[in-house]
Structure 1
Amino acid sequence: MGSLSIWHWLIVLVIVMMVFGTKKLRNIGSDLGGAVKGFKEGMKEGDSTTSTSAASDKPAVKELRDGNAIDVEVKDSSSQKQG
């Protein structure tokens, strides 16, 4: 009673196609594919900007509210992979 067989899923698929139509389902699929592609491109762009900004040899300094400063060492991810 708790498990659904392949026939149940086929009936559900036919009902969904009748309600929404194949054109809307195709549009939803293409929109989802475009969103995934855009996400992947954004991740690649993020990796390239991160690697260029981390390449600087200057340590970053973080200012605190009371005026004290903390020196922070910036490590290049490519040097960690080599060593």
Structure 2
Amino acid sequence: MTEQTFTKEQLATYNGEGKPAYIAVDGVIYDVTNAKGWQKLVHHGNKVGNDVTAGLAKSPHGPRVLAKLPVVGKLVD
């Protein structure tokens, strides 16, 4: 299976409204559609459909929670 790539503009369309909810962290796209903390499409000020790398850096739980999420692709420039 070929890995999907997303531009920031494409990622923005995966905002949980009619499509799955995706976030990017360090260039990796994760599906947070079914993640409990993202049910309101915002988690600690980070919105789905965006690169939340900077916000995650300030998170108390850090990147370890990402291992529980499905990876759907890579963020490209």
Q: TM-score by structure 1 length?
A: 0.20
Q: TM-score by structure 2 length?
A: 0.21
Structure with greater proportional strand content: 2
Bigger radius of gyration: 1
Structure with greater proportional helix content: 1
Q: Which has the higher contact order (CA 8 A, sep 6+)?
A: 2
